[in-house]
Chains A and B, each alone.
Chain A
Amino acid sequence: MESDYVLQMDGVSKEYSGNRVLKNVSLSVKRGEIHALMGENGAGKSTLMNILFGMPVIHNTGGFEGSILLDGCPATISNPQEAMQAGIGMVHQEFMLIPGFTVTENIKVGRELTKPTFFSRIFGKSLETLDFGTMKQDARRALDTVGLGIEEHVRIAGLPVGYMQFIEIAREIDKTGIRLLVFDEPTAVLTESEAARLLAAMRDIAAQGIAIIFITHRLDEVMTVSDSVTILRDGELVTRMPTADTNVHQIAELMVGRKIGGQLTAAEERRQTREGIALKLRDLCVDMPGEALEGVDLDIREGEIFGVGGLAGQGKLGIPNGIMGLYPATGSVELFGEALDFDKLGDALQKGVAFVSEDRRGVGLLLEDSVRLNIIFTAMQINNQFLKGNMLDTREANHHAQEMVKNLDIRCTSIHQVVGDLSGGNQQKVCVARALATNPRLLFVSEPTRGIDIGAKRLVLDLLRRINEEQGMTIVMVSSELVELRSICDRIAIVSDGQVSAIMSPTDSDVNFGLAMSGIRVGAGGPAEELGGEQA
């Protein structure tokens, strides 16, 4: 039986130890179609994909209910190898590439082409040599399909993240018989121009008849590239519809299931900021790999929300990380008139600065510890709060943690739940709670909305604004999401090539922002320059 649909998953249900994560969900994708799969974190997208790929986690927990049809024929996929043989490929969010190997080797790994040699004729196939010529040609073809003009013999180590993403895709489409490709948030780590190029590549791939499942949080990308969209919410299918029949607003609303107050809009002109200077940077240089900062002068006023934007890899993350002492820094930093001592560990914390790191799981949280400990830790460490003598004051700590959980709407079973088990948005709120517990005068938030779903984004941004308005706390928000910066900041500095290229008002035109971010050479410094000539 021929079918229009490459993949049909019907009536899929799944529970993890009594907890239903998928309830009667269907997903169908046509040949050559880009199908967006949307939903908040925890809506069941990953579980659905794990089922599709026959991941062991599914079978180890009692399998699933429902059926999978591939090209109209019932299929059982009981492990990832079978999924691969069935022509289903995955482009991962975290890159699965081997740094020491070349582009070709990475594309061909596990499926190397070989040619017979004298010895192999005698001793068998395992002594055949690698056929680098053909492999290179194959790799070239795959790279051309995704539009990456990189030499195929270059090593992966040191390539910009954007390139790695494309190489992943090239590896997937090089597999013969591929008919369905899953992109799991492929643009999350890309800059805007790279993302645009990726979307174009996706269209090319789909035009060759390969179906694509596109998982993303970015609504505008869905609107630009997808043909149809399936929305999940809390493990249930909300709707499947052609993208043409809907709009950003409707999708967002269906995903969260509650009205969200319109798109993020530019901040209205707001109250006066106070006179004093909260943070004064002079010639700040930070040696942070991939985000080096080379001589920045900035004055941030007390009581303002100051945005720092710019493309990935240009150095904007160097500002908070350098000031907090996480990477070596030089230059002068004055916090509320006091000079910061770079050599003293934690000096910025002592001077009333709190930091919500962009690396939530790596730097921001003790993943194996309770919500309570995470919330109180910095305050305990720096201000000796929540201590009785030198011992933990359990009552005080519980009280505060509970209050924070309530105020910030952190969804957890109790304050003793392990933070690693929370969803991304809730983890982010724990990070914010930890920073707030110290009663800081200045709060750095770095990429506060990275990897969290749209509902949680809104909550986090509203929260920042509320703190700023109610407590007059100075906030410096570093983000790659220009829209978000413009929605809550009073002023926005754009960092490019390790320096501040412009300080703008959120109401400035898109064109001006665009110019500030990309008026300079993209991909300067590092290997990108040698390899990525066509990008400049």
Chain B
Amino acid sequence: MSDGLIKRIGWPRIIISAVLVMLILTAMLTGMDWVSLINDMVRRWGQYGILVLAMVPGIQCGIGLNFGVSLGIVGGLLGGLISMELTGQYGLWMSMTPAGRAWMMLLTALVAGIAISTLIGIGYGFLLNNVKGSEMTVSTYVGFSAIAFMNIMWLILPFKNGEIMLPLGGSGLRQTITLEFSFGSVLNNFLMLKIPLAGKVLTIPTGLLLFFFLVCFIVWLFFRSKPGMTMTAAGSNGAFARANGINVNKTRILGTTISTILGGVGIITYAQSYGFLQLYNAPMMMGFTCVASVLIGGATIRRAGVSNVVAGTLMFQGLLALGLPVANNIIPVSSLSEVSRLIISNGIILYALSKSGGRSRG
């Protein structure tokens, strides 16, 4: 019985969980501010969750790990910018109270982001159907190219709002755009719990987590619906799908599009929690973080579920949020954190690919 349970959870996850617990204990014993470390971990969990969730439809529909989630991220960023432009330049929602306006701006950003991501996702899906068998390589480069392309676009897109343009008369958009006066932290602050703990305050960003779980639930439901099951079947065995009258190309486009949309929603959620929209090269490596998270959660390149996302994001972000400060505390070398982050995320990707990369796809 316990054997089966261990097998179901998997040794990597048991080890990582043990490491996390150990890190918290170390932090406590060395007198670090461990409560704020936990706050950080929980906030990052919700912040990255939906971006990681974007991996699930990609894997399930058969395109593998969607390194090109940057496309969705670009869509989401555009959504955020449009929302700010509409309010700042055209006075949309200005008649509302600041709190209500923040919510409406978030909603506008989501709607615009989803619309743009949908269009991008469909095109991306068509592209990936033409490169069957090497989707992951292509998606990596598509992701990078999209960032490069948008680096040009950020300079020439006709936005006018002073809040998002480079100040002092420069042309183009800023590197980082603060969301403090628009929709920053609206989800995080919604129903936020503050629990006094060991002389510090444990804060739970309830709204952020609720939103994350809601989107997870929607995705979970989708995979129990007919189109979801169809997509899973087509992704895991194309020949089987064809024999059952399924158009595999269509389900792949659908999966890719959903993945891209989740990327868009994910970056907006991320940005509101982080407090800034980051343009230019900032989202470049985000795809890798997402891939590593879902893999650490127990997904393979052929199969992934919502539970992999929830567990994987918590573990991966936990390792970063706890591991690096604790390590820095013990071995005080600067820039160790960035190096370890790269080692952890790329190491996990490499490990997972070596475990499941050799199998041919149906």
Contacts and interface: CB of A to CB of B under 8 A. Distances in A.
Interface of A: 17, 324-326, 345-347, 349-350, 355, 357, 359, 362-369, 373, 377-378, 380-382, 384, 387, 390-392
A378 B237 CA distance: 14
Contacts of A378: 244
Among A17, A326, A346, A384, the most chain B Cβ lie within 10 Å of the Cβ of A346
Interface stretch (B21-29, B85-93, B219-227, B326-334): B219-227
B233 A377 contact: yes
A355 B230 CA distance: 18
Contacts of A359: 239
A345 B247 contact: yes
6 contacts: A345-B245, A362-B362, A365-B240, A366-B240, A369-B232, A381-B246
Interface string B223-262: 0111101101100110110111111000000000000000
Given A326-B243, A362-B240, 6 more contacts: A346-B245, A346-B246, A363-B239, A391-B221, A391-B224, A392-B224
A350 B239 contact: no
Contacts of B230: 381
B303 A349 contact: no
Contact of B243 (A350, A363, A373): A363
A380 B247 CA distance: 15
A122 B3 CA distance: 59
Nearest to A438: B244
B225 A391 contact: yes
A390 B245 contact: no
Contacts, number: 72
A363 B239 CA distance: 5
B44 interface: no
B302 interface: yes
Among A350, A362, A384, the most chain B Cβ lie within 10 Å of the Cβ of A362
Nearest to A378: B244
B226 A390 contact: yes
Contact of A384 (B221, B226, B247): B226
Interface string B197-226: 000000000000000000000000100111
Given A377-B229, A380-B229, A357 B243 contact: yes
Contacts of A367: 236-237
A365 B3 CA distance: 28
A358 to B, nearest CB: 11
Contacts of A373: 229
Nearest to B243: A363
Contacts of A381: 226, 230, 244-246
Nearest to B4: A17
Contacts of B242: 325-326, 345
Nearest to B302: A368
Contacts of B232: 369
Contact of B239 (A17, A345, A362, A384): A362
Nearest to B223: A392
A435 to B, nearest CB: 11
Nearest to A391: B225
Nearest to A373: B229
Contact of A382 (B3, B225, B227, B244): B244
B237 A366 contact: yes
Contact of A355 (B229, B243, B247, B303): B243
Nearest to A324: B243
Contacts of B245: 325, 345-347, 349-350, 381-382
Interface in B1-34: 3
A1 B279 CA distance: 81
Contacts of B227: 390
B226 A366 contact: no
B244 A377 contact: yes
A103 B169 CA distance: 74
Among B3, B243, B247, the most chain A Cβ lie within 10 Å of the Cβ of B243
Nearest to B248: A345
A432 B146 CA distance: 48
Contacts of B233: 366, 369, 377
A384 B362 CA distance: 25
B302 to A, nearest CB: 7
Contacts of B236: 366-369
Contacts of A355: 243
Contact of B225 (A347, A363, A369, A392): A392
A382 B230 CA distance: 11
B282 to A, nearest CB: 37
Contacts of B246: 345-346, 381
Contacts of A345: 242, 245-247
A357 B243 CA distance: 9
Contacts of B244: 346, 349, 377-378, 381-382
B290 to A, nearest CB: 23
A384 B243 CA distance: 16
Contacts of B237: 362-363, 365-367
A381 to B, nearest CB: 5
Contact of A380 (B226, B239, B240): B226
Interface string B105-118: 00000000000000
B255 to A, nearest CB: 16
A367 B225 CA distance: 20
Contacts of B303: 368
B225 A364 contact: no
Nearest to B3: A17
Contacts of A362: 237, 239-240, 362
Nearest to A434: B244
A364 B135 CA distance: 25
Contact of A364 (B224, B229, B240, B302): B240
A107 B240 CA distance: 36
A368 B232 CA distance: 11
A367 B360 CA distance: 13
